[in-house]
Amino acid sequence: MAKKIISIVIPFYNEEGNIIPLYKEISSSLLKDFVNFDYEIIMINDGSNDNTWQEIQEVKKLDSNIVGINLNRNYGQSIAMDAGLQKVNGEIIATIDGDGQNDPQDIKKLYDKMIDENLDLVAGWRNKRKDPTWMLVITKTARFLRRIMINDGVHDSGCTLRIYKKTVINNLYLWAEMHRYIIAISKMNGFKIGELKVNHRARTIGTSKYNWKKSIKGLIDLFYIWFVAKYESRPLHLFGFVGGINFVIGNIFLFYSIYQKIFDGISLNRSGWLILGIFLIQIGVIIFIFGIIIDLMIRNYYNTSRDKRYIIREEV
């Protein structure tokens, strides 16, 4: 009887010096903790301009279970991770950062929690992070906004150390900076999510790739996820509501300007309320029509593509 396979996916960008030590840690952990599994380690070079790809090739010579993927340029962590996830053969998939700050020994702890509680995805929680103060401030701010807008139910959506069942990966598509919202997307898809405190280590080689630009992109993606979570199936509910509010307020201003004309003798062409009312009515109608168009486009997309509005967990 063939063994199950566990797949480890690691995106790298300018991590020269980290690849070989991390490989040794991961392979040692897998051989010790997953003796009943075969394994594969998928290493993705995200267009590095140092010797990252050369080191991945060196590791490949040491272990035939290594799969190396060399992207043509730097696409970002989400795209690199997606490139690796599309290649996995395992029933169980773990993702881990390439900077050496995640502890590979925590993979087994995440797996045990998944099995014990029958979860589909278990996320790592770096409750004692070894990062600069400015990064921790941004993280806490993002966590506050995330809890208000999408409430993904975890403390640390930015921790790459996670373990998944294959069904989660099969229904996951990443782009832009969306790796931060894998948990939110999976929760929207109805998968059972868990969280576990994991070890977080200080970086010893190289420098962090996180910066303020990525935090801005992450905030923009947060609004996108909020919209998708609430209004993907019926965007007209949102646009119809906003358009209707504008239409109603515009009519109030319009009738008020007429009231001023009749009872106060104020000429309509001198009334700012009239201009504002007509403007809001027009905006309301445009937003409502925009909602109808988006609604029709989404229906047409689902009716003509392979993507579906639902996920089947199992059949008997």
DSSP of 15-56? -TTTHHHHHHHHHHHHHHH-TTEEEEEEEEE-S-SSSHHHHH
- The values of phi and psi at residue 232, to 5°, are -60, -45
Q: What is the pLDDT of residues 262-280, one digit of tens each?
A: 888 878 777 788 889 999 9
Distance CA 36, CA 59 (A): 23
- The values of phi and psi at residue 194, to 5°, are -130, 170
pTM assigned to the model: 0.74
Q: What is the pLDDT of residues 171-199, one digit of tens each?
A: 887 766 677 788 888 888 889 999 999 99
Highest mean pLDDT of the ranges 103-112, 130-139, 266-275: 103-112
Confidence of residue 303 (pLDDT cuts 50, 70, 90): low
Indicate if the pLDDT at residue 306 is higher than 70.
no
Q: Strand 92-95 relative to strand 162-165: parallel, antiparallel, unpaired?
A: antiparallel
Using a pLDDT cut of 90, give the percent of the chain over it.
50
Q: What is the pLDDT of residues 29-86, one digit of tens each?
A: 999 999 999 999 999 999 999 999 999 999 999 999 999 999 999 988 888 999 999 9
Q: Which two tokens stand for residue 109?
A: 């702890």
Q: By the 8 A CB rule, do 181 and 219 touch?
A: no
In 72-152, alpha helices (H): 77-85, 106-117, 133-149
Residues with Cβ < 8 Å from 59, sequence gap 6 or more?
Answer: 19, 20, 23, 43, 66, 68
Size of the chain in residues: 316
List the Cα angle 184/189/192 in 5-degree steps.
75
Mean pLDDT of all residues belonging to the chain: 85
What per-residue confidence (pLDDT) applies to 236? 81
